[in-house]
Amino acid sequence: MQESKKPNVGFWVISSIALIWNLMGVINYIAQAYMTEDMKATISAAQREYIENVPVWATAAFATAVFAGSFGCLSLLLRKKIAKLLLLISLLGVVVQMSHGFMSDIEDVYGPGGIAMPIMIIGLSVFLVWYSRFVDTKGWLS
């Protein structure tokens, strides 16, 4: 069932905030992937060891999650159906990436936030997949 082709204000707010969230993820990925020795010197030894031992598959999943998520949210703002696929790919990247954290000692390294943040990220990713499908049923994507 399709409704109005014109998105409401909530669509623009949610999609814009989601894009900003994912762009912050891109910045975080770049900062972690290209961390200099000077930057590493500013974090704890446990955090440095954790970051230096992240497997390639988890780093690739991180990149997939944030870049697919950013392009997915941009596609939402452009009202394109490809947003649904991109946000699903992002969710899969998030789940793979976070599985590494849950399988390691991330809570020992980052404290309670080491568990709370990944759970929040997974929840937001699930929401964005659902939301992209929801707005498509409203006829807001083409």
Per-residue pLDDT reduced to its tens digit, 6-60: 999 999 999 999 999 999 999 999 999 998 889 888 988 888 888 888 999 999 9
Does residue 121 contact residue 98 with C-beta atoms inside 8 Å? yes
**Which pLDDT score, from 0 to 100, does residue 112 have?**
77
**In 10 A of CB 72, how many CB atoms?**
28
**Which pLDDT score, from 0 to 100, does residue 30 have?**
96
DSSP 41: T
H helix or E strand, kind and range, residue 74: helix 56-77
**Which pLDDT score, from 0 to 100, does residue 120 have?**
95
Q: Which among 80, 84, 34, 81 has a CA at the least distance from the CA of 59?
A: 34
**Which pLDDT score, from 0 to 100, does residue 3 have?**
54
pLDDT digits (tens, 9 = 90+) for 23-37: 999 999 999 999 888
Q: Which residue ranges make up each domain of the chain?
A: 9-137
Rounded CA-CA distance 46/50 in Å is 6
Task: Return the SS3 of 42.
Answer: coil
Percentage of residues in the chain having pLDDT higher than 90 = 69
38-58 CB burial, b ≥16 within 10 A, e <16: eeeeeeeeeebebeeebeeeb
pLDDT band at 4 (very low <50, low <70, confident <90, very high): low
**In 10 A of CB 35, how many CB atoms?**
15
Percentage of residues in the chain having pLDDT higher than 70 = 97
**Which pLDDT score, from 0 to 100, does residue 77 have?**
98
